[in-house]
Amino acid sequence: MFEESGLTYLVEKSLLDEAKPIKLDYIVTPQGEGFYISSQLGREADCGGGCSCC
């Protein structure tokens, strides 16, 4: 668990060490809005409707 910019994140420690840096953005597009998560793992998740993908 770590805190940044007033938000608390819960990530499995071994995954966090492997995935750093993790970037979390909230985006709004004509197709919808939601969270966009990217990391060094090359795995990306794109969710709409305010879900957390986790």
Residue 37's Cβ-count burial label (10 Å; 0-12, 13-18, 19+) is middle
> Quick check: 33 and 48 in contact, CB under 8 A?
yes
Per-residue model confidence as pLDDT tens digits over 6-42:
888 888 888 888 888 888 899 999 999 998 888 887 6
pTM over 0.95: no
